[in-house]
């Protein structure tokens, strides 16, 4: 999986930026606020269909403009793909793959696999369940488009069921219609639960293999799926559906009172442990950083296992957060991965990467200098 080039037109502070990338390491450097992260954001948008910084497309448009246009050339499994994303005047964004418009964003998944690692990823550990669900959902959606469609269905069904719950508070005669939404919800929920459990088990195994090196065999990391209800660790869709349907029936009066669905995969969580202790509650800052590093490298390996291809890696200002040993370990772990690194100072990479990097100096949303590692000496 290789990104060959990127064109940005009125995206954030990039008015007219064209970049041809190295197949290995790409060092994007410059002072803060110049537009380095915007380049990674655009690539990530082409992979996952979403920005990691905002959910609003109009915030991606350059000031005093009314549109943005992203065009990226990707080599995927020997085939060339051109991914184009356009947005105009608060309209729904348009996505084309090889000039062919796609009707559903799920069709974008699988054309470009990407793993993003930024300082904000500590929120996977430090923040609430929503951050951990988001991390899992984005990765799973890339490698399993059907999972993405199930997530979309879950959101729509929950919205309709919650509307009905609010109406039931004053119109009890509508209660007979709740069974329809319960069944639809249970079917989609079972699909999501099965995939989340499989993903968590696989990620945990890969992360353990990575973390034993980082911790010198002193720590065991586990990434456990915590379903919102006891589904008895079943992998049988029908069994999970039946368990969930009974719980939905039992909680109906409470849900009517609350006005929303209180039980389900939209309230799932993941428990990250070090030596069987909560990393969030008991882990030091160093342990948390090391654990996120292990999880991100595990994410790369998991995508490769599931798809047969290594994803690209986007490192947004994380090298300064890692000590020298962790930096070296990260560089060794991603030797097969096309990598994009943003930083304020490129000098630390000149000896580490030898002749395998291309450097881009960014100022005010423009590439003002580009050179290969071999030109440094």
Is 36 annotated in some ligand binding site?
yes
Residue in the block written with tokens 């060339």? 80
The predicted structure's pLDDT at residue 267? 97
The predicted structure's pLDDT at residue 63? 93
Is 259 annotated in some ligand binding site?
no
Q: What is the dihedral of CA 57, 62, 68, 73, to 10 degrees?
A: -110
Is 30 annotated in some ligand binding site?
yes
State mean pLDDT over 38-53: 94
Where is average pLDDT lowest: 182-186, 318-322, 342-346, 371-375?
Answer: 371-375
Is 208 annotated in some ligand binding site?
no
Mean pLDDT value across the chain: 92
**pTM, two decimal places:** 0.92
The predicted structure's pLDDT at residue 375? 47
Is 242 annotated in some ligand binding site?
no
The encoded tokens of residue 295 equal: 């999880």
Please choose, from the candidates 70, 75, 59, the residue with its C-alpha nearest in 3D space to the C-alpha of residue 96: 70
Using one digit for the tens of pLDDT, what is the confidence trace for 51-94?
989 989 999 999 999 999 999 999 987 889 999 999 998 888 99
Domain ranges of the chain: 1-113+309-377, 119-308
Identify the band that residue 46 occupies on the pLDDT scale cut at 50, 70 and 90: very high
Identify the band that residue 351 occupies on the pLDDT scale cut at 50, 70 and 90: low
**Residue pair 89/268 in contact by the 8 Å Cβ criterion:** no
Domain 1-113+309-377 fold: Rossmann fold (3.40.50)
Identify the band that residue 329 occupies on the pLDDT scale cut at 50, 70 and 90: confident
Q: For residue 202, how many C-alpha atoms fall within 13 Å in the half-sphere facing its CB?
A: 17
**Residue pair 266/158 in contact by the 8 Å Cβ criterion:** yes
Identify the band that residue 323 occupies on the pLDDT scale cut at 50, 70 and 90: confident
CA distance 369 to 298: 34
DSSP letter, residue 320: G
Is 33 annotated in some ligand binding site?
yes
State mean pLDDT over 109-118: 94
**According to the CATH classification, is domain 119-308 in 1.20.1050.90?**
yes
Angle at 178 between CA 176 and CA 184, to 5 degrees: 135
CA distance 64 to 58: 11
Share of the chain above pLDDT 90, in %: 77
CA distance 328 to 108: 34
CA distance 177 to 23: 56
């Amino acid at each position: 999986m290789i990104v060959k080039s990127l064109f940005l037109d009125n995206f954030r502070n990039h008015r007219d930026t064209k970049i041809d990338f190295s197949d290995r390491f790409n060092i994007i450097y410059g002072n803060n606020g110049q537009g380095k992260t915007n380049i990674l954001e655009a690539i990530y948008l082409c992979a996952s269909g979403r920005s990691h910084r905002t959910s609003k497309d109009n915030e991606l448009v350059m000031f005093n403009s009314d549109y943005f246009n992203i065009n990226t050339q990707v080599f995927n499994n020997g085939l060339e793909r051109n991914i184009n994303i356009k947005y105009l005047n608060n309209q729904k964004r348009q996505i084309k793959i090889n000039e062919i418009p796609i009707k559903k964003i799920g069709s974008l998944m699988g054309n470009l696999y990407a793993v993003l690692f930024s300082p904000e990823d500590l929120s996977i550990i430090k923040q609430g369940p929503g951050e951990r669900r988001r991390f899992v959902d984005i990765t799973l959606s890339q490698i399993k488009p059907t999972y993405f469609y199930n997530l979309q269905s879950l959101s729509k069904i929950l919205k309709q069921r919650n509307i009905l719950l609010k109406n039931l508070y004053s119109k009890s005669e509508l209660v007979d219609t709740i069974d329809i939404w319960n069944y639809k919800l249970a079917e989609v929920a079972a699909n999501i639960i099965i995939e989340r459990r499989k993903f968590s088990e696989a990620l945990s195994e890969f992360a353990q293999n990575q973390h034993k090196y980082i911790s010198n065999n002193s720590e065991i990391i586990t990434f456990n799926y915590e379903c919102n209800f006891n589904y008895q660790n079943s992998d049988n869709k029908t069994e999970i559906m039946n368990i969930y349907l009974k719980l939905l029936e039992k909680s109906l009066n409470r849900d009517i009172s609350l006005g929303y669905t209180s039980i389900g995969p939209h309230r799932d969580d993941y428990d990250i442990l070090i030596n069987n202790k909560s990393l969030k509650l008991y882990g030091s800052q160093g342990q948390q950083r090391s654990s996120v590093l292990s999880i991100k490298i595990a994410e790369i390996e998991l995508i490769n296992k599931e798809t047969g291809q290594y994803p690209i890696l986007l490192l947004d200002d994380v090298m300064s957060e890692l000590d020298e040993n962790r930096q070296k370990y990260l560089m060794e772990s991603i030797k097969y991965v096309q990598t994009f690194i943003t930083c304020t100072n490129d000098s630390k990479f000149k000896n580490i990467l030898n002749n395998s990097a291309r450097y881009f100096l960014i100022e005010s949303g423009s590439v003002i200098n580009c050179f290969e590692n071999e030109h440094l000496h």
